Amino acid sequence: MKLLRFGEVGAEKPGLLASDGTLRDLSGYVADISGAALSDAGLEQLRAIDPDSLPVVEGNPRLGPCVGSVGKYLCIGLNYSDHAAEAGLPIPEHPILFMKANSAISGPNDDVVMPRGSTKTDWEIELGVVIGTRAKYVSEADALSHVAGYCIANDVSERDFQMHLTGQWTKGKSCDTFGPTGPWLVTRDEVPEPQALSMYLDVNGQRMQTGNTSTMIFSVAQIISHLSQLFTLHPGDVISTGTPPGVGMGIKPQPIYLKAGDVMELGIDGLGQQCQVVRADD
């Protein structure tokens, strides 16, 4: 299934993408794409519904983040060896973890707003993983059974805030609108091999990032297992698993960063596409 949320900011309704390409309203069956709805039992109940019986969502509504009530937005840094190389940083021994504030989460096609004082706003396409069932001390072999599904994440980053404001990377990762997520949550049964997904990101029609999850340093299963040794992962938690090379910071001889009016287009095999216009904060 391809689950989604549609409507105005803060008032999104649950829905799904039917095989005929229409959006269908799930609000008669579930309050949101969150919590218990993401469990295996919850997803089975949704899977049993005939999409043709659901109301068609007319028009072209805004798509919100594909998961509601996110508990934790966890991000893995430097998880592609060639990205670590372009950043001039060593290959990590363990997954590098930082947090993105939940207030950064936005819809897949919402504007990305550069904060006041931003001079180095950058792009990062990533595979997002949504937890469906509680995970604590899980093995790598069992880790993927705790996944509800997968989505696209753009880990937008303000590099000057990230590197030079003293402290953790979170400062440069958590600006409002810096977490476009979606367009839909693709359930794990439709993604049998999360380590074989091609991805791309374009800026103003120019290909900047091309990658494949097969080149991750730490696999999705390894990441989930590792994090679950440290703290409990809960349904609705999102893990953004790192980006391939081609970010603006790594361009030689001179880095390139986003400016107002730029357009980012990005996609991952089977998970859809995103498109964001960049603008400056008022």
Residues 100-129: pLDDT tens digits?
Answer: 999 999 999 999 999 998 999 999 999 999
Tokens, residue 200: 């791309």
Residue 20 has pLDDT above 80, yes or no: yes
Tokens, residue 79: 């998880």
pLDDT value at position 122? 97
pLDDT value at position 167? 73
Residue 161 has pLDDT above 90, yes or no: no
Query: At 13, is the pLDDT very low, low, confident or very high (cuts 50, 70, 90)?
Result: very high
Spatial contact of 156 and 243, defined as CB atoms under 8 Å apart: no
pLDDT value at position 125? 98
pLDDT value at position 48? 97
Residue 170 has pLDDT above 90, yes or no: no
* Lowest mean per-residue pLDDT among 34-48, 77-91, 151-165, 240-254: 77-91
Residues 180-234: pLDDT tens digits?
Answer: 999 999 999 999 999 999 999 999 999 999 999 999 999 999 999 999 999 999 9
> For all residues of the chain together, what is the average pLDDT?
95
Mean pLDDT of 160-185: 89
Query: At 24, is the pLDDT very low, low, confident or very high (cuts 50, 70, 90)?
Result: very high
Q: 252 or 136: whose pLDDT is higher?
A: 136
| Per-domain residue ranges of the chain | 68-280
pLDDT value at position 182? 98
CATH class of 68-280: alpha beta
In Å, how far are 49, 131, 133, 189, 229 from 15, measured between CA atoms?
A: 12, 19, 21, 18, 34
pLDDT value at position 91? 87
SS3 per residue for the chain: CEEEEECCCCCCEEEEECCCCCEEECCCCCCCCCHHHHCHHHHHHHHCCCHHHCCECCCCCCECCCCCCCCCEEEEECCEHHHHHHCCCCCCCCCEEEECCHHHEECCCCCEEECCCCCCEECCEEEEEEECCCECCCCHHHHHHHEEEEEEEECCEEHHHHHHCCCCCHHHHCCCCCEEECCCEEEHHHCCCCCCCEEEEEECCEEEEEEEHHHECCCHHHHHHHHHHHCCECCCCEEECCCCCCCHHHCCCCCCCCCCCCEEEEEECCCEEEEEEEEECC
Residues 43-93: pLDDT tens digits?
Answer: 999 999 999 999 999 999 999 999 999 999 999 998 998 777 777 778 899
